[in-house]
Amino acid sequence: MNKQSAILVLADGSVYKGFAFGATGTAIGEVVFNTGMTGYQEVLTDPSYAGQIVTFTYPELGNTGVNLDDEESDRPQVKGAIARNVTYTPSNWRSRQSLNDYLKAHDVVAIGGIDTRALTRKLRSLGAMNGGISTEILDPEVLLAQVKAAPSMQGLNLAQTVTTPRIYEWQEPTLDAWEFMEPSSAITTLTTPLTVVAIDFGVKRNILRRLVSYGCRVVVVPADTSIDKILEFNPDGIFLSNGPGDPAAVTGGIETAKALLNLNKPIFGICLGHQILGLSLGGDSFKLKFGHRGLNQPTQDQSSSSDRRVEITSQNHGFALNGDSLSNSQAEITQINLNDLTVAGLKHKTLPIFSVQYHPEASPGPHDADYLFQDFVKSMANTREM
């Protein structure tokens, strides 16, 4: 097939020539890399990637096509995609569309034929940086000018761009969770479902599926929902979702989390929700050099009563909490990332509140971290029984 030319230009002036797939046009965003060997559809539709151009280090993209079940939101959230090789004729029993046609339908610009190994090494050495893909601006200097004019990810509140515009109750049918969990007596004796209010900073659908699979009624609310409105649902627990951008810029979410601390209700945070919780407890956050984005990030339990268990986790974030900033707070660091010793989990010293930097719903390990949903459900059930 005849392939249209495309170029990728990074903020440092590096130029990569390749071919276009997906939509035509120009995309500017922060260029990052994901080391997962599977799950490209989940990555593309994860709201945590809003504002970013994702480099896939696995050399083949599109082999299994696109299906209706693996969407983490209602559309691709990435600014663009970068690949080595692209398959136009997928082979999988669930496939309903090729990746090329899917990206084209959703107006997502992508480039193939790139040495993604060399590109990833550059991003690891110099750090994640802005870049641009274009099928229409083939003069590198012209595209570079647009890249340099784009805002940095630091300071951006992107949660406000991906949050739900309305309150809704998650209703999608899901698999039963009990094969991973032994129901406690507190849970099995409840006469009505536990109600979880999920604050949507860019929530992944599979998180909602996992909560429902444990028997919860899940009400999803926009990121700017007031405390009074949240309490109207009489929640048994609050969930702080994942999402994109700089956590320190989500000032409304941080203030909401501070107010929630006074309710003595179980709170569970994942990814951006974990960072927002840490900031509400007096911590600071910082931008990582190139972030953690992949399916095999090792974390280790740090609690004094633990056996220092190691979990293989799925992660997707470019910011992290400063562990030293939490030393005089009510937060206890429960897990660390073994690759760089950054904070991977925390809990409140006296309240039923905890969070993790990684994604337990993404089935790494494959179920190393699913117990976190169990712990949240048990905490809500025990609190209701008090």
Residues 28 and 82 in one domain: yes
Which residue in the list 274, 292, 317, 359 is annotated as catalytic?
A: 359
3-state DSSP helix/strand/coil percent for the chain, to nearest 5? 25, 30, 40
pLDDT of residue 177: 45
Alpha carbon distance 123, 39 (integer Å): 21
Contacts of 335 (CB under 8 A, 6+ apart): 299, 300, 301, 302, 311, 343, 344, 345, 356, 357
Asked whether residue 154 is assigned to any structural domain, the reply reads no
Residue with tokens 């979702």, as numbered in its chain:
241
Asked whether residue 316 is assigned to any structural domain, the reply reads yes
Cα angle: 194, vertex 195, 196; to 5 degrees: 120
* DSSP tag of 351: S
How confident is the model over 262-271, as pLDDT tens digits?
999 999 999 9
Q: Which of 99, 124, 149 is the last residue of a domain?
A: 149
Torsion of CA 238, 280, 385, 190, to 10 degrees: 20
Asked whether residue 56 is assigned to any structural domain, the reply reads yes
Asked whether residue 21 is assigned to any structural domain, the reply reads yes
Q: Which of 110, 127, 149 is the last residue of a domain?
A: 149
Residues 32 and 97 in one domain: yes
User: What are the Cα distances from residue 379, in Å, to 100, 228, 267, 313, 352?
Assistant: 45, 23, 9, 23, 7
Q: What is the CATH number of the domain that holds 132?
A: 3.50.30.20
pLDDT of residue 305: 65
How confident is the model over 16-58, as pLDDT tens digits?
999 999 999 999 999 999 999 999 999 999 999 999 999 999 9
Asked whether residue 27 is assigned to any structural domain, the reply reads yes
* Domains of the chain: total: 2
* DSSP tag of 101: H
Residues 128 and 170 in one domain: no
| Other C-beta atoms lying within 10 Å of the C-beta of residue 41 | 20
pLDDT of residue 366: 77
Residues 94 and 178 in one domain: no
Residues 233 and 311 in one domain: yes
Asked whether residue 63 is assigned to any structural domain, the reply reads yes
Q: Verify whether residue 359 is a known catalytic residue.
A: yes
Rounded to the nearest 5°, which phi and psi values hold at 369? -110, 10
Residues 328 and 198 in one domain: yes
Asked whether residue 241 is assigned to any structural domain, the reply reads yes
Residues 190 and 67 in one domain: no
| Other C-beta atoms lying within 10 Å of the C-beta of residue 160 | 18
Q: Which of 149, 170, 191 is the last residue of a domain?
A: 149
293-331 burial, b at 16+ Cβ within 10 Å, e below that, comes to bbbebebbbbeeeeeeeebebbbbbbbbbebebbeeeeb
Domain with 273 in it: 159-385
pLDDT of residue 304: 67
Q: Verify whether residue 30 is a known catalytic residue.
A: no
Q: What is the CATH number of the domain that holds 354?
A: 3.40.50.880
Residues 201 and 76 in one domain: no
Torsion of CA 237, 242, 244, 250, to 10 degrees: 20
CB 116 within 8 A of CB 57: yes
pLDDT of residue 198: 98
Q: State whether residue 93 is helix, strand or coil.
A: coil
Q: Verify whether residue 216 is a known catalytic residue.
A: no
Which residue in the list 271, 274, 292, 311 is annotated as catalytic?
A: 271
Residues 46 and 134 in one domain: yes
Supply 259's token pair.
């107010």
pLDDT of residue 176: 47
Asked whether residue 18 is assigned to any structural domain, the reply reads yes
Low-confidence ranges of the chain (pLDDT < 50): 175-180
Residues 204 and 93 in one domain: no
Residues 103 and 199 in one domain: no
Residue with tokens 């200097």, as numbered in its chain:
141
Closest alpha carbon to 203 in 371, 32, 359: 359
Residues 127 and 271 in one domain: no
